[in-house]
Structure 1
Amino acid sequence: MSQIITFGEVLMRLSPFGNKKFIQANTLEFYFGGTEVNVGLSIAHFGANVKHITCISNDFIGDTAIAYLNKFDLDTTAIIRTNRPLGVYFLEVGAVMRPSSISYNRSHSAFSEITPEMVNWQDALANGSWFHWTGITPALTQGSFNTLKEGLKLAREKGIQVSADPTYRSGLWQYGLEPKKALTELLHYSTVFIGGINEMNEALDTNFGYSNEDFIEASKLLIEKFPSIEKVFDKIRTSINSSWHKIRARMWNGKDFRETEDFDITHIVDRIGTGDAFAAGLIYGLQYYDDYKAMQFASAACALKHTYVGDVNYATTDEVTRILEGNVTGRFNR
């Protein structure tokens, strides 16, 4: 059976219960996540065959993380174990006008020591039909950039579709590689671009605005500069406050521009992983639907993720489909 492949760090999230700050708290709850594995877990929960490639600590925390991934029937056979600790991040969940705050502890994590020699990409991609990467992984270390690049090169040689979410976070790029050069190099191995105007401006060294007209022109230029890219998808978030957002999406596939309606999310439970839920919904949707319906599925999946605590979207395909059919009242299912 063909597999969807994700590659990136698995992190443990520690957070006070509810909307407390750490200074208020005496107890914490933990979850496992990480940008790319959030995508993989969500797609696996939809019922697809997914393999995640990463490096995890060889201790009981690593055992627990792998057990969590296995709950979703995620293929963990390509996971490497090392004696460094699992990466951790700390989250204070905001509310209304108070934003959420995050602090990372990942600079000496198990994943930080990954190198191309540690991953057998031939075996890992043997059944691959899709490979998803984000801008987080190449930002961490030279080893993670080199390892990702090797995987992407082989994926394209094998004709595997590659989706790119080239998120740029300036605080991560500390090891000397110039971010724009690195990300644009990896975009040449990608076929589907998941990102907005900011990401396109970064890749193109342009200054497009946020209008639909600018989005179309930026998409055309992106496809011209990176000929392997065939489609561009953009999730748009409108923030009323920390607890109330609106989500919609738009696309350019080289021929057509389409845009979804807003999903009004008036009471956010957890915003972490919502972009990953969009990417997961899109990747899954593109296996079964046309581009527009896949984007609608992704938007609904993203909206639903705001209702789940933790990093991962636990929505099923049936639940996403019900949202698409207009069932947004939240009434009991009996």
Structure 2
Amino acid sequence: MKKLEAKYEGKVLGLGEVMLRLTPPSYEKIIQANSFSATYAGGEANVICSLSMFGHDTKFVTKLPDNKLGEKVIKDLRSFGVDTKDIITGEGRLGIYFLEQGMGLRNTDVIYDRKYSAISMAKEDEFDIDKILEDVKLLHISGINPALSDDLKNTTLKLVKECKKRNIIVSYDSNFRAKLWSLEDARQFMLEILPYVDIAFLGILDFKNILLYDIPTESFEENLKILYTKLFEKYPNLKFASSTRRKVNSVNNNSLNGYLFDGENVNKSKEYTLDILDRVGGGDSFTAGILHGLLNQMTCEETVEFATCASVLKHSISGDMNLVSKKDVYTLMMSGVENINR
């Protein structure tokens, strides 16, 4: 059974943008709304806060505006137990995204308002790489942050290269956002970073649209094994790869499976059909569950089941953050849905 070789001591570090999310109440459209619910989140921060909920020692790095909004983000991160001492502040604003939640056959829609955000204006020399990595055992990054600027792309590459020198595990989630950069730019970055990645979160669409791999069969699981095997042959540094399969029954009801490839086998979770209160952050919750399992030397079967259950539970929680504990996840894994926990 393959296990992740990571330092026993050290923090799990995330690097990325934190944004203000504004959501109309009661599934209203934005043109109807006169008020918005405000929460703070970002793809990488969602993963780190979830890992803190699971009991890991965590740390987050970003750049925030030097104002009350920046202070609020730091306060929220600290409330999860996340180390924020290496967060920098300065010129710029806090990025905003408006989330119009779908209902029935009406899709969810996102509007970004993030130009001139503090993190997008950050320069390479503002990040002290030695200080940031001083007490770290795993770095988690995604394709969102490097899409914001060339400086952030270069900073991300410098970080992962330094991680390899220090025996720090690198976790990378493609997280392609068409509203941030083109497929060509995403492809160039992915080809640059993959030689330094240990754990890759890539789905079949990433292989097809970004890496330009042919999809060989009609079977999802066969394709996943073939594509992951090819990827691992090209990048022998890779140790694990993971993704989910989502069947959209309606905007508010999906079925979900998780998959974890260990270099030889694709391990699959049970299929869960779930009603959705808030889908945003579901993928980040799965990512956190996979990292939790691997860091805790769980079997691949246990890891992918834990991650899928963590993601399933996130869909029942408003906001981007997955506010569940290990106990909550294990209860779903072992006992399924119960009426009341007494």
Question: Which TM-score applies when normalising by structure 2?
Answer: 0.93
Query: Structure 1, unaligned stretches of length 5 or more?
Result: none
Distance in 2 between residues matched to 1:128 and 1:72, nearest whole Å: 18
Residue matched to 1:328: 337
CA drift of 1:169 comes to: 2.1
Q: Quick one: which of 228, 232, 253 aligns to 1:223?
A: 232
Q: Quick one: which of 290, 293, 299 aligns to 2:299?
A: 290
CA drift of 1:276 comes to: 0.3
Distance in 2 between residues matched to 1:206 and 1:223, nearest whole Å: 13
Paired residues for 1:194-233 under 5 Å: 194-202=201-209, 204-208=211-215, 211-233=220-242
Paired residues for 1:186-201 under 5 Å: 186-201=193-208
Q: Is the 8 A contact 1:12 1:87 kept in 2?
A: yes
Residue matched to 1:83: 91
Residue matched to 2:3: none
Q: Quick one: which of 29, 36, 46 aligns to 1:28?
A: 36
Q: Is the 8 A contact 1:84 1:110 kept in 2?
A: yes
Provide Cα deviations, 1:207-232, integer angstroms capped at 9, x if missing partner: 21552111111001101112211111
Provide Cα deviations, 1:43-88, integer angstroms capped at 9, x if missing partner: 1111111111100111001111110111001010110101211110
Q: Is the 8 A contact 2:267 2:304 kept in 1?
A: no
CA drift of 1:269 comes to: 0.6
Distance in 2 between residues matched to 1:204 and 1:242, nearest whole Å: 28
Q: Quick one: which of 113, 124, 131 aligns to 1:123?
A: 131
Residue matched to 1:245: 254
Residue matched to 2:191: 184
Residue matched to 2:328: 319
Provide Cα deviations, 1:170-208, integer angstroms capped at 9, x if missing partner: 32127x983211111111110111121111234542121
Residue matched to 1:160: 168
Query: Which amino acid counterpart does residue 32 of structure 2 have in structure 1?
Result: Q
Pick closer, same or farther for the CA change 1:26–1:183 going to 2, 3 Å.
Answer: same
Q: Is the 8 A contact 2:143 2:186 kept in 1?
A: no
Distance in 2 between residues matched to 1:179 and 1:192, nearest whole Å: 18
Q: Is the 8 A contact 2:99 2:108 kept in 1?
A: yes
Query: Which amino acid counterpart does residue 126 of structure 1 have in structure 2?
Result: E
RMSD value over aligned CA atoms?
1.5
Query: Which amino acid counterpart does residue 330 of structure 2 have in structure 1?
Result: T
Q: Quick one: which of 225, 246, 266 aligns to 1:257?
A: 266
- Given the alignment of the two structures, is residue 100 of structure 1 paired with residue 100 of structure 2, yes or no? no
Query: Structure 2, unaligned stretches of length 5 or more?
Result: 1-8
Query: How many residue pairs get matched?
Result: 331
Residue matched to 1:6: 14
Distance in 2 between residues matched to 1:119 and 1:132, nearest whole Å: 16
Paired residues for 1:106-117 under 5 Å: 106-117=114-125
CA drift of 1:168 comes to: 2.0
